[in-house]
Structure 1
Amino acid sequence: METLFSLDPIHLDLPDATFIYYPNFLNQEKADLYFEKLLQETPWQQDDITIFGKKIAQPRLTALYGNLGKPYSYSGITMHPIAWSPLVWLLKEEVETIAQHSFTSVLLNLYRNEKDSNGWHADNEKELGQDPIIASLSLGETRKFQIKHTTNKNIKCDILLEHGSLLLMKEGAQVHYKHQLPKATQPKNTRINLTFRTVF
Structure 2
Amino acid sequence: MDLFNPEFNPKYNRLPKDGMVLYFGKVMDYHKAHFYFNRLLETIEWRNDEAIIFGQLITTKRKVAWYGDRNFKYSYSKITKEALPWTEELLALKQLAEEKTEETYNSCLLNLYHDGNEGMAWHSDAEKDLKKNGAIASMSFGAERKFAFKHKSTKETVSLFLENGSLLVMKDETQTHWLHRLPPSKKIAKARINLTFRTINTFETSL
- State TM-score, norm by structure 1: 0.91
State the Cα distance separating 1:13 from its structure 2 match. Answer: 4.0
| Inter-partner Cα distance in structure 2 for 1:49 and 1:94 | 31
- Paired amino acid for 2:72: K
The structure with the largest strand share of the pair is: 2
Task: Quote the offset at 1:63 in angstroms.
Answer: 0.7
Give the Cα–Cα distance (whole angstroms) in 1 for the partners of residues 112 and 71 of structure 2: 24
Contact 1:59–1:115 (Cα < 8 Å) also in 2:
no
Correspondence for 1:56 among 43, 55, 58: 58
Equivalent residue in structure 1 for 2:87, among 72, 85, 88:
85
**2:143–2:188 contact (8 Å) kept in structure 1:** no
Q: Quick check: 2:71–2:85 contact (8 Å CA) kept in 1?
A: no
How far apart, in 1, do the equivalents of 2:188 and 2:68 lie?
33
* TM-score of the aligned structures, taking structure 2 as reference length: 0.88
Output the CA distance in 2 between the equivalents of 1:27 and 1:136.
17
Q: Which moved more, 1:21-30 or 1:159-168?
A: 21-30
Query: May I ask how many residue pairs the two structures share in their alignment?
Result: 193
Find the structure with the greater CA-based Rg.
2
Q: Give the Cα–Cα distance (whole angstroms) in 2 for the partners of residues 166 and 140 of structure 1.
A: 13
Identity %: 38
- Structure 1 segments (4+ residues) deviating >4 Å: none
Q: Please give the root-mean-square deviation of Cα atoms over the aligned residues, in Å.
A: 1.5
Structure 2 SS opposite 1:116? coil
Q: 1:1-45, CA deviations, whole angstroms, 9 ceiling, x for partnerless residues?
A: xxxxxx952531421111100111122121111011111111100
The whole-number CA distance in structure 2 between the counterparts of 1:92 and 1:77 is 25
C-alpha contact 1:109 1:193 (8 A) present in aligned 2: yes
Aligned residue in 1 for 2:119? 117
Q: Is the 8 A contact 2:49 2:61 kept in 1?
A: no
Q: Which moved more, 1:63-72 or 1:51-60?
A: 51-60
